Amino acid sequence: MTINELRNECDGRLNEAGISDHLTDSMLLIMHVLNVSRDHILAHGTDPVEDDKAEKLLELVRRRCEHVPLQYITGHQEFMGLDFAVNEHVLIPRQDTECLVEEAMIETGDGMRVLDLCTGSGCILISLMKYKNQIDGTGIDISEKALEVASLNAEKNGVEAVFLCGDLYDALNKEPEGSVSSGSRFDVIISNPPYIRSDVIPTLMEEVKDHEPGVALDGGNDGLLFYRRMIEGADEWLIPGGCILFEIGFDQGDAVSGMLKDKGYRNVCVVKDLAGLDRVVKGHKRI
Ligand code: GLN
């Protein structure tokens, strides 16, 4: 088969399976399997494709037809201009989350100690460390498998972060005294935690509800469980005057900023994303 014939075949199968971005996805899958650019595909449509490559491509298309997210199939997602490895153990980095990293860049000075809770693929901590100087970064996640991905991403992007496994701040208490993470508080605490209400999860896209890790999505009955716990623990782990920043759902701005104000945080504000939706809440701990 030629490249064009394969493209038509893949596109047809994806369309039939109800994949909304079938044209884009068939193009990206062909680029991935042939390891060539979009321009190459467009310019060499009549070139023949070797049988083993065609077979591999059709196998990947079969997975995409089952609504496996494209990024889990190719194993990559770009975030903040960097390449991140992903698999089914981590949430796929979203462009919306770049808004959180941009706010964190404003709040973070060179050399600060930063704690990223629910680090997942590590995309937030790693991009912050990449774009700032000498950040002492610690990432925590409850999933060992997620941390394997985060460590790989730190290495790929040339940053040296410490990754700890555990349930939020518990991971820090487990550290032996005198080790990198024991004792000292953080200048900045950041997180994109699970924040979707449990009853909303069944209504999400198949790609998300059936394939992304539920543990990275479910924020409990009101979606706010992790914000409550992270703010509580910041009493102990954030320095006075330190900044806490969270990604939030579009309708959680009032609730989460209210929690910070109740605790006496200063300069509490809600930041909108590029779509104009509430996306980040941040504030500074009382001095
Ligand atoms: N911090 C990770 C991200 O932003 C994972 C978030 C999560 O697991 N809820 O992609």
The stretch 155-180 carries a mean pLDDT of 87
- Residue 209 Cα to ligand 1 midpoint, Å, equals 15
Contact 245, 106 (CB under 8 A): no
**AA identity, residue 50:** E
Q: From the CA of 17, how far away is ligand 1's center (Å)? A: 28
pLDDT band at 184 (very low <50, low <70, confident <90, very high): confident
* Interacting residues of 25 by C-beta distance below 8 A, sequence separation 6+: 14, 19, 64, 70
Q: Which atom of ligand 1 is nearest to the CA of 119?
A: 1
Nearest of 243, 277, 228 to residue 94 by alpha carbon: 277
Instruction: Determine the average pLDDT of the residues in 78-88.
Output: 98
Query: Domain residue spans in the chain?
Result: 3-66, 80-284
pLDDT of the residue at 175: 67
Question: Where do the H-state alpha helices sit in the chain?
Answer: 3-16, 22-34, 38-43, 51-65, 70-74, 98-107, 123-131, 144-156, 170-173, 206, 225-237, 253-262
Q: Order of strands across the sheet with 113-117? A: 162-165, 136-141, 113-117, 186-191, 238-247, 278-284, 266-272
| Contact status, residue 186 vs residue 239, Cβ threshold 8 Å | yes
- Say if residue 182's pLDDT is above 60: no
pLDDT tens digits, one per residue of 226-265: 999 999 999 999 999 999 999 999 999 999 999 999 999 9
Predicted pLDDT of residue 174:
73
- Assess whether the C-beta atom of 193 lies below 6 angstroms from ligand 1: yes
Q: How remote is the CA of residue 76 from the centroid of ligand 1, in Å?
A: 15
pLDDT at residue number 50: 96
CB of 282 within 8 A of CB of 245?
Answer: yes
Nearest C-alpha to atom 10 of ligand 1 is from which residue?
Answer: 93
Distance CA 227, CA 247 (A): 10
CATH code reported for the domain at 80-284: 3.40.50.150
What is the 138 CA–ligand 1 centroid distance (Å)? 14
For ligand 1, whether the C-beta of 280 sits within 6 Å is no
Residue 57 scores a pLDDT above 80: yes
Q: How confident is the model at residue 179 (pLDDT cuts 50, 70, 90)?
A: low
CATH class held by domain 3-66:
mainly alpha
Gap from CA of 128 to ligand 1 centroid (Å): 14
Categorize the per-residue pLDDT at 145 as very low, low, confident or very high, splitting at 50, 70 and 90: very high
The rounded mean pLDDT for the chain is 95
Residue pair 30/75 in contact (Cβ under 8 Å)? The answer is: no
Kindly state the average pLDDT of the residues 112-134.
97
Task: Give the residue, by CA position, lying nearest to ligand 1 atom 8.
Answer: 216
Specify whether the CB–CB gap between 119 and 125 falls below 8 A: yes
Q: Please give the average per-residue pLDDT across 265-271, as a whole number.
A: 98
216 alpha carbon – ligand 1 mean position (Å): 7
What does the buried/exposed string (b/e) look like for 45-67 if buried means 16 or more CB atoms within 10 Å of the residue's CB? eeeebeeeebeebbebbeebbeb
Mean pLDDT calculated for residue range 54-75: 98
The DSSP annotation for 50-92 comes to: -HHHHHHHHHHHHHHHTT--HHHHH-EEEETTEEEE--TTSPP
| CA 259 to mean position of chain CA atoms | 24
Mean pLDDT, residues 27-54: 96
Regarding the beta carbon of 194 and ligand 1, being less than 6 Å apart is answered yes
* Positive/negative CA dihedral, 92, 98, 100, 102: positive
- Work out the number of other CB atoms within 10 angstroms of the CB of residue 39: 9
Q: Is the pLDDT of residue 180 over 90?
A: no
> pTM score, two decimals?
0.93
Nearest CA to ligand 1 atom 5: 120
Q: Ligand 1 in contact with 120 (CB < 6 A)?
A: yes
Matching fold, domains 3-66 and 80-284: no
Q: Is 40 exposed, middle or buried (0-12, 13-18, 19+ CB in 10 A)?
A: middle
Q: Cα 63 vs. chain centroid, distance in angstroms?
A: 22
Sequence-distant (≥ 6) Cβ neighbours of residue 258 within 8 angstroms: none
Ligand 1 midpoint to CA 120 (Å): 5
Are 226 and 219 in contact, with CB atoms under 8 Å apart? yes
* Phi and psi at residue 278, to the nearest 5°: -60, 130
